[in-house]
Structure 1
Amino acid sequence: MKVLEERTGRSPSEILVSAALYAENSESLAERRAVAVEFIAARRYLAALSNNVNQLARHANATDEFPEAARTVLTRVRAVADRLNTMLDAMVR
């Protein structure tokens, strides 16, 4: 156990929980946490972008013009969505 603690930097209880929960799966608890952290970051970024999209939509509705900045924001939204889809695909495999 001591060797695993030193190699992974994880506590004995985390090692045991990972072994019990993921015995049939090579994915460790630390790896699942890292994926969760990445999902949370992507969700926050997507929320910030959605605020920008709402502001751009209000502007477009009020002036009948589609701002050039909207194209940039929508490109970023698509990139985040693609990133989330890639992460989900990796989790399913």
Structure 2
Amino acid sequence: MSDEENSHRPNLSRRRRANTPAGTKKRRDVWVTVEEEAALVARAEREKVTVPNLLVSAALAERTDSPTERRAIGAELMQLHNLLARSSNNINQLARHANATGEFPVEAREALKHIRSVAMRIDRAIEGLM
């Protein structure tokens, strides 16, 4: 490939961040374990960035939830899981009754409505994770 052709091609293997007009202002040293370093290097290679770029990008990402908020979301999902398990048990009991008697219990409509509301809560909790 000629120099002229090469000058019009974007550099897809660029690993450094672009320089800022004011230049670098602060330097931060971060101590990591050997295992953490290996994981950082592997991920940076996968994403084709430098480790410092990876760290800055991750730290400044739009996602603003903290570990505490993520734990709260996890707790909410566990509550929903337990609620869904109990509700499923109720639905099974209603189905057994319907199969044994040939009658559709009036409570089944409310139970199904409840299951739908739990499913919607699960959807909202999942949306909160994204």
TM-score, length of structure 1 as denominator length: 0.71
Measured after TM superposition, the shift of residue 67 of structure 1 is 0.4
Measured after TM superposition, the shift of residue 90 of structure 1 is 2.4
One of 99, 106, 109 as aligned partner of 1:68: 106
State how many pairs are aligned: 72
Give the alignment of 1:44-63 within 5 angstroms: 44-63=82-101
Alignment RMSD (CA, Å):
1.4
How high is the sequence identity, in percent, across the aligned residues?
Answer: 44
Report which of the two structures shows the higher radius of gyration computed on alpha carbons. Answer: 2
- Distance in 2 between residues matched to 1:55 and 1:43, nearest whole Å: 19
- Distance in 2 between residues matched to 1:53 and 1:45, nearest whole Å: 12
**Structure 1 stretch displaced more, 22-31 or 49-58:** 22-31
Runs of 4+ in 1 over 4 A off after TM superposition: none
Q: Which residue of 1 aligns with 2:68?
A: 30
Give the alignment of 1:4-19 within 5 angstroms: none
Secondary structure of the structure 2 residue equivalent to 1:67: coil
| Structure holding more helix per residue | 1
Q: Which runs of 5+ in 2 are unaligned?
A: 1-54
- Distance in 1 between residues matched to 2:123 and 2:102, nearest whole Å: 33
Secondary structure of the structure 2 residue equivalent to 1:80: helix
Which AA in structure 2 matches 1:36? G
- Distance in 2 between residues matched to 1:38 and 1:75, nearest whole Å: 20
Q: Which runs of 5+ in 1 are unaligned?
A: 1-19
- Distance in 2 between residues matched to 1:28 and 1:89, nearest whole Å: 16
- Distance in 1 between residues matched to 2:127 and 2:64, nearest whole Å: 17
Q: Which residue of 2 aligns with 1:4?
A: none
Secondary structure of the structure 2 residue equivalent to 1:30: helix
- Distance in 2 between residues matched to 1:40 and 1:31, nearest whole Å: 14
Q: Which residue of 1 aligns with 2:116?
A: 78
